[in-house]
Amino acid sequence: MGMTITEKILAAHSGNDVVRPGDILQADVDMALANDVTAPLAIKVFEEIGKENVFNRDKIALVPDHFVPNKDIPSARQAKMMREFAAKYGIKNYFEVGQMGVEHVILPEKGLVIPGDLVIGADSHTCTYGALGAFSTGVGSTDLGVIMATGRVWLKVPPTIKVIFEGAFNPWVCGKDLILYLLGVMGVEGANYCAIEFMGSAVKKLTIDQRMTMSNMAIECGAKNGVFEADEITLNYVKERSTRKPLVIKPDPDAKYEREIHIDVSKIQPQVAFPHSPDNVRPVSEGKDVKIDQVFIGSCTNGRLEDLRIAAGLMKGKSVAKGVRVIVIPGSQLIYKEAIREGIIDAFLDAGATIGPPTCGPCLGGHMGILAEGERCASTSNRNFIGRMGDPKSEVYLVSPAVAAASAVLGRIGLPEEI
């Protein structure tokens, strides 16, 4: 019996010829990742272990992005702890303010993840890198502290769910709409501790940016990871960013799957996840009565250059609706610079939006856009749980960049064709 993509990667990194769902194994890690919220505890655990050095200073990435630029004294202390640890152990991939951005945006951008890698991060959205044909998943800070010392991780091999997207795209439908629709089908616990393989002719047409959006939100249905088969689009992306040789892994024809889900994308319209769950999904056309106070365009889900291009293209020459705040946060310094060069930032500013430095910002209720009681936000981020972006009585509606831009102009949840 053959193996899935996830099973093959785990087998290759654990020294096994074959692995099966449920197997417990110890695997070598290609990249260990932490941010300013999760790194401090991981550092304390590492120090308690008593190792004289980290397992590999080139295979650890530390990215202060959640509360950076520091919003208060505690966040400044967290960032300082990371900075000092990186300096002490010569961590090559430590990204300070001025070089940093949202962790799951900058690691692929800097060529630190390629097909076939095994990436472990102390952040649930580490699953983003499955878009590149890698196995990537999140763990707790305690586990990451041990990984920084040993370079190895214990894992249980997950069963795999194959999700096949076929058909032609409707106007303005993108990767964000596909994953929101899938969440509506599966529910937030529909893939608990499973791998998801995104397959089919429709997803092969998606850019890497859109694939990252989909892999990023695999965790929202409980998945261990969400992975795409690496193809020419993947290899062209990686070739421009890394000199390492990618390992292209394909599932075996006789691989065994937990189940298969077939989705006809021609039946999917732009989607919106209503409060207070990512699986509370409806077509945007059913949300036109929802007035909004804020729009957030950014995050590790939709803060990439393609996302900003789409939103700015819709908002160019138009104005943000009265009473609406629009916060745009590029996912990295490089994206910010290119957005300036292309006139994207001008389009946002002329429309009445404000631009923030590359950081997570309001996505997790951190800073730079917290919601007050009763306020509603159309957000391109990945979660809309109670209190996620501020007051417990605020509401977050998850949308694509195109729908976010249209909503900003309309002052309510709306479709791009309306503007």
State how far the Cα of 144 lies from the Cα of 85, in Å rounded to an integer.
Answer: 14
Length of the chain: 419
223 and 163 fall within a common domain: yes
Indicate the number of domains in the chain.
Answer: 2
Residue 389: CATH number of its domain: 3.30.499.10
Question: Where among 197, 231, 263 does a domain terminate?
Answer: 263
CB-CB contact of 235 with 201 (8 Å): no
Retrieve residue 344's tokens.
Answer: 């994207």
Q: What single-letter amino acid sits at 261?
A: I
Instruction: Answer whether residue 161 is part of any domain.
Output: yes
Which SS3 state, helix, strand or coil, does residue 82 take? helix
Instruction: Answer whether residue 268 is part of any domain.
Output: no
78 and 130 fall within a common domain: yes
Instruction: Answer whether residue 235 is part of any domain.
Output: yes
Question: Where among 233, 263, 293 does a domain terminate?
Answer: 263
Instruction: Answer whether residue 280 is part of any domain.
Output: yes
Q: pTM to 2 decimals?
A: 0.96
380 and 280 fall within a common domain: yes
414 and 293 fall within a common domain: yes
One pLDDT digit (tens) per residue for the chain, 419 residues = 899 999 999 999 999 999 999 999 999 999 999 999 999 999 999 999 999 999 999 999 999 999 999 999 999 999 999 999 999 999 999 999 999 899 999 999 999 999 999 999 999 999 999 999 999 999 999 999 999 999 999 999 999 999 999 999 999 999 999 999 999 999 999 999 999 999 999 999 999 999 999 999 999 999 999 999 999 999 999 999 999 999 999 999 999 999 999 999 999 999 999 999 999 999 999 999 999 999 999 999 999 999 999 999 999 999 999 999 999 999 999 999 999 999 999 999 999 999 999 999 999 999 999 999 999 999 999 999 999 999 999 999 999 999 999 999 999 999 999 99
Q: What single-letter amino acid sits at 155?
A: L
State how far the Cα of 78 lies from the Cα of 93, in Å rounded to an integer.
Answer: 17
Instruction: Answer whether residue 255 is part of any domain.
Output: yes
Instruction: Answer whether residue 184 is part of any domain.
Output: yes
Q: Which helix or strand (DSSP H or E) is residue 331 part of?
A: none
18 and 59 fall within a common domain: yes
248 and 183 fall within a common domain: yes
Q: Considering only CA atoms, which of 1, 9, 18, 15 is closest in space to residue 225?
A: 9
Structural domain of 41? 5-263
Question: Where among 263, 296, 313 does a domain terminate?
Answer: 263
9-53: pLDDT as tens digits = 999 999 999 999 999 999 999 999 999 999 999 999 999 999 999
Instruction: Answer whether residue 246 is part of any domain.
Output: yes
